[in-house]
Amino acid sequence: MAKYRKLGRTSSQRKALLRNQVTAVIANGKIVTTQTRAEEVRKIVDGLIALAVKEKDNFETVTVSAKVAVKDKDGKRVKEVVDGKKVTKYDTVEKEIKKDLPSRLHARRQMLKVLMPVVEVPSEVAGKKKNTKELDLVAKLFDEYAPKYADRKGGYTRIVKIGQRKGDAAMEVLLELV
């Protein structure tokens, strides 16, 4: 018996379809799809969330100092004259950052193999590149979903049957995070 369904597609098409649907579930929390696709997507999503839960506390906090350009009220860099040349003025800033331990870094890279990049566009600037931002779904898995499902032993998704699709009578379902 096969370990996965072929979904009537070539391997590259199937991989792209599953990656897109897994990304949509993690970004939005739910998707509507056919039952066979949902069962395949569920396996992958549950695995990613389980990996995030396992590695959620596996980091250390490190204090680093960084040089940051001083900016004026308009957001432009402040220049000062040194030896007849205009030079940008810098301040030293102390920051605390999370440094992943090796196993969490490996988990992060495993997640990035599956998840597609997602760009969020605000509704008021639809169709323009300005003010768009890329969502960090791996951070969402570690920071939002891992603490939420920390005390749960699997079963992070739910499949709810909606009914048959009008065109081809395929069973449609709602795949959502519990």
Residue 1: the pLDDT is: 53
Q: Which domains does the chain have, with CATH numbers?
A: 11-57+102-177 (3.90.1030.10), 59-100 (no CATH)
DSSP code string of 27-53: HHSEEEEEHHHHHHHHHHHHHHHHHHH
Residues sharing a CB contact under 8 Å with residue 110, sequence separation 6 or more, in sequence order: 51
pLDDT tens, N- to C-terminus, the chain (178 residues): 578 999 999 999 999 999 999 999 999 999 999 999 999 999 999 999 999 999 999 999 999 999 999 999 888 999 998 888 999 999 999 999 999 999 999 999 999 999 999 998 887 777 777 778 899 999 999 999 999 999 999 999 999 999 999 999 999 999 999 9
Q: Structure pTM?
A: 0.84
Rounded to an integer, what distance in angstroms lies between the CA atom of residue 94 and that of residue 161?
Answer: 52
Rounded to an integer, what distance in angstroms lies between the CA atom of residue 175 and that of residue 10?
Answer: 23
Specify the 3-state DSSP secondary structure of 137: helix
Residue 128: the pLDDT is: 72
